[in-house]
Amino acid sequence: MKQFLIAGIGLCLIFISPSFGAKLVTDLSKDEIAIEANFTGDKILMFGAIDSTSNAPKADVVVVVRGPSINALVRKKEHQAGIWLNGAEVTFGAMPSFYSIASNRPLAEIAPVKTLIDNELGTQALEHLPISGAFISEELQDFAAAHIRLKKRQGLYRNDDAGVQIISGRLFRSEITIPTQVPLGDYKIDFFLFENGRLTATQSSMLTVDFYGIENTLHVLAHDMPLLYGLTGVLIAILMGWGVATIFRRL
Amino acid sequence: MQIYLPIAEISANIFALLGMGGMVGFASGMFGIGGGFLMTPLLIFSGIPPAIAVATEANQIVASSVSGGLAYWQKRAVDIRMGLVLMAGGMLGSIAGVYLFRHLLMLGKVDATISISYVLFLTIIGSLMLRESIQSMRAARQGKTISLRRPGQHSWWLRLPPRIRFRQSKLYISIYPPLLIGFLVGLLAAIMGIGGGFIMVPAMIYILRMPTNVVIGTSLFQIIFVTAGITIMHAVTTQTVDIVLAVLLMTGGAIGAQIGARVGQRLKAEQLRSALAIVVLLVGLKMFYDLVNKPNELFSIVEKGIGL
C-alpha cells in the first residue's frame, strides 16, 4: 500500500517537475519525530523522483541525514598504577551528532573520492577538526577512527551502500531507522543526484526531533528549573516512601 | 514494555527496572540495609551512565529511608539531637562531595572515582562484616554472646569540648566526632550514590558507642535529609537525576523490601550478616576486575551540549 502511495506521489512529482526545471524532487514521510514515554525508535521514509530525460545516463542517488552539530570529546583509557583510567583526550569541533548516509550502490563507485570528501559524503569523509587536546597527527587519526567506531556502535553513524532503491530509473526511496538514543534538535536531510560520477542536483529538507508530553516537561524542568526539579524528585520520594510504609502496615 | 528515561536519554525495559529495584529492595529488607551500594553498581553494570546512576540512586534512597525510618520514628527509636549533629556534618560533607563530583565529571574521572571508592569500601566493610559474623557464629555455637557496646572510659576524642548531652543515647560526648563521621559519610554518599548506613551504623556503635536500639533509626533519620540534599544538589549542578528511573526503582524497591523484611525475620542474624558480607565482597570484586582488566574499547565519547 505504502509503495503504491509513494509511486503515486512520485508520478505526480514527475509530471510537475519538468515545468520547474528541477532534476530532483524529494519529500519525507514525516518532518517531526516526537519522543514520548513509549518511544522505541522511529522510521522515516525519504523518497522522490529523478528527471533523467536527458540522454539517460546512469543516475545515482545519495541521501544524508545529519543531526545537530556538537563538540565531541573523545577520551582514551590508559593503564595507570595498575588500573585503566581516562587519560589523553581530544575534542573534535562541530561534528554531526547523528549521521546516516544511504546510497543505491557503494559510494566509491558513484563518484571520485575528491567529490565525496568535498561534500562530506560517507562517515570516512567527515572532517575531524581538533579544537583541544592532543595534536599529533597519528594519534589524532586513532581518536577520529574511535569516534566514528563508537558512534556507529551506538547506531548514530551509519553507512548504507544499499539503502536507496531506484525504481525503473525514475523513482527512488530510502528508509532509515531512528534509534531511541537519537539526539534532539533540527536535522537536515540532503539528497544528492549523481550522473556519470558528476553531482548534478541537490535537494534539502528539515526534520525536527523533540520531546513531547511528560518527557518534555521533565526534560525542560531538569535543565531550566533544576531546583524545582530536584525538589519534585525529593517530594515524590517522601510521598512514595511514606505511602508504601502506610499501605504495608495495613496489610 | 519499554519506557524512555528523559535524563539518561535511553529507552529501558520497565519490568527489568522494577525487577532490579525489587531485588535490591528484597536484599535491603532482609538485611536491614539501604541498598544504595548494591543498586548503584547494578545500574552501572546495566548501562546507565555512572553519574546518572549515582544521582538517581540518591533520590531513591530518600524514599526507602522514609519508609524504613517511619517505624523507628513511631517507636521513638531516634536520637534526634544526634541525628541533627550527624546531619549537619553530612550536609557539609555532601556539599563537598557534590562539588568534587562535578569537578571530576568535567575531568572525565568520575567513573573511575566511583569504581575505586566502591572497591575500597566494599572490600573493607565486606571483610570486617564477614570476620565479625564468623566470630559471632562461633561464639553462638559455644553459647557465648558478644556485647557490641563496651561502656566505660571514653577515649580522648570523645571528650573534646564542646561536649553535648545526647539523652536518648545516654551519652555526653564531644560534638566533633559525630560531625566528622557525618561529614565523611556525606562525602561518600554524594560520590557513591549511597545512603551510607553501612558505614554510619558501625561507626555509631564502635566509635560513638551509641546504644544499638537507636542506631538504625537515627542513621535513617539523617540519611533522609542528607540524600534529599544530595538529590537537589546533583539536580542543580549536573542535571543527572532521572525522576522516571527513580520512581521505577522506588516502586520495585518498596515492594521488594517488604517481602525481604518478612523473609529476613525467619533467618538468623549471623547468617544474614555473613550472606550480606559475601554479596558485598562479590560486588567489590566485580568492580575491581572491571578496573584492572584491559577494556575491549579504550575510547569513550562525551558530547558537549547534549547532556553528559
Amino acid at A86: N
CB B228 within 8 A of CB B151: no
Mean pLDDT computed over A149-159: 93
Give the SS3 label for residue A56: coil
For residue B162, whether the previous peptide bond is cis, meaning omega lies within 30 degrees of 0, is yes
Distances (CA, A) of B192 to A52, A79, A198, B69, B111: 63, 23, 58, 21, 10
Mean pLDDT computed over A231-245: 93
C-beta atoms of B243 and A248 within 8 A = no
Give the burial class of A171: count Cβ atoms within 10 A of its Cβ; 0-12 exposed, 13-18 middle, 19 or more buried. Answer: buried
Amino acid at A72: A
Fold of A2-211: Immunoglobulin-like (2.60.40)
Residues on chain B touching A76 (C-beta within 8 angstroms): 298-299
- Helices (H), strands (E): how many in chain A? 6, 13
Closest by CA to B82, choosing from B232, B209, B236, is: B209
Residue B34 CA to residue B139 CA, distance in Å, equals 28
pLDDT in tens, A3-38: 555 555 555 555 544 444 468 899 999 989 988 888
C-beta atoms of A181 and B10 within 8 A = yes
**Which A residues 19-48 touch B at CB under 8 Å?**
35-41
- Count of alpha carbons within 13 Å of B283, Cβ hemisphere only? 26
How far does the CA of residue B189 sit from the closest CA of chain A (Å)? 16
Q: Which residue has the cell 533540527?
A: A186
Mean pLDDT computed over A208-234: 91
Residue A116 CA to residue A112 CA, distance in Å, equals 7
Closest by CA to A221, choosing from B7, B57, B214, B135, is: B7
Residue B221 CA to residue A191 CA, distance in Å, equals 62
**Which A residues 173-192 touch B at CB under 8 Å?**
180-181, 183-184
Question: A226 CB near a chain B CB, below 8 Å?
Answer: yes
Please give the residue of chain A at the shortest CA–CA distance from B56. A233
**A182: how many CB neighbours lie within 10 A of its CB?**
22
Dihedral over alpha carbons A150, A152, B50, A241 (to 10 degrees): 180
**Which A residues 76-95 touch B at CB under 8 Å?**
76-79, 82-86, 89, 91
Residue A15 CA to residue A22 CA, distance in Å, equals 11
Residue B37 CA to residue A234 CA, distance in Å, equals 19
Mean pLDDT computed over A216-238: 93
pLDDT in tens, A79-135: 988 889 888 889 998 899 999 999 999 999 999 999 999 999 999 899 888 888 766
Residue A85 CA to residue B108 CA, distance in Å, equals 9
Q: Which residue has the cell 539523617?
A: B222
Q: What is the pLDDT of residue A53?
A: 60
CB B35 within 8 A of CB B24: yes
Q: Show the cell assigned to B261.
A: 523484611
CB A6 within 8 A of CB A173: yes
CA pseudo-torsion sign B89, B95, B98, B104 = negative
Which of B223, B258, B300 to mutate against chain A (most A CBs within 10 Å)? B300
Is the ipTM value over 0.90, yes or no? Answer: no
Q: What is the pLDDT of residue A117?
A: 92
C-beta atoms of B299 and A36 within 8 A = no
Q: Show the cell assigned to A93.
A: 569541533
CB A47 within 8 A of CB A174: yes
Q: What is the pLDDT of residue B241?
A: 95
A·B CB contacts under 8 A:
192
Q: Show the cell assigned to B216.
A: 538504625
- Show the low-confidence residues of chain B (pLDDT under 50): 149, 306-308
The single-letter DSSP state of residue A212 is -
Nearest CB to B305; choose among A71, A85, A214: A71
SS3 breakdown of chain A: % helix, strand, coil, rounded to 5?
A: 35, 40, 25
All structural domains of chain B with their residue ranges: 2-142+179-291
CB A237 within 8 A of CB B247: no
- Annotate chain B with three-state secondary structure: CEEEECCCCEEEEHHHHHHHHHHHHHHHHHHCCCCHHHHHHHHHHCCCCHHHHHHHHHHHHHHHHHHHHHHHHHCCCCCHHHHHHHHHHHHHHHHHHHHHHHHHHHHCCHHHHHHHHHHHHHHHHHHHHHHHHHHHHHHHHCCCCCCCCCCCCCCHHHCCCCEEEECCCCEEEECHHHHHHHHHHHHHHHHHCCCCHHHHHHHHHHCCCCCHHHHHHHHHHHHHHHHHHHHHHHHHHCCCCCHHHHHHHHHHHHHHHHHHHHHHCCCCHHHHHHHHHHHHHHHHHHHHHHHHCCCCCCEEEEEECCCC
Residues on chain B touching A71 (C-beta within 8 angstroms): 303-305
Residue B133 CA to residue B269 CA, distance in Å, equals 9
CA A192 to chain centre: 16
Q: What is the pLDDT of residue B142?
A: 79
Residues on chain A touching B63 (C-beta within 8 angstroms): 236-238, 240-241, 244
Q: Which residue has the higher pLDDT, A143 or B270?
A: A143
Mean pLDDT computed over A27-51: 89
| H-helix segments, A129-225 | 137-153, 213-224
C-beta atoms of A83 and B233 within 8 A = no
Residue A17's H or E segment, with its range, is helix A2-20
Residue A207 CA to residue A203 CA, distance in Å, equals 14
Give the SS3 label for residue A71: strand
Residue ranges, comma separated, of all CATH 2.60.40.3880 domains in chain A are 2-211
Please give the residue of chain A at the shortest CA–CA distance from B65. A241
Please give the residue of chain A at the shortest CA–CA distance from B2. A38
Q: What is the pLDDT of residue B215?
A: 87
Q: Show the cell assigned to B139.
A: 561464639
Please give the residue of chain B at the shortest CA–CA distance from A77. B298
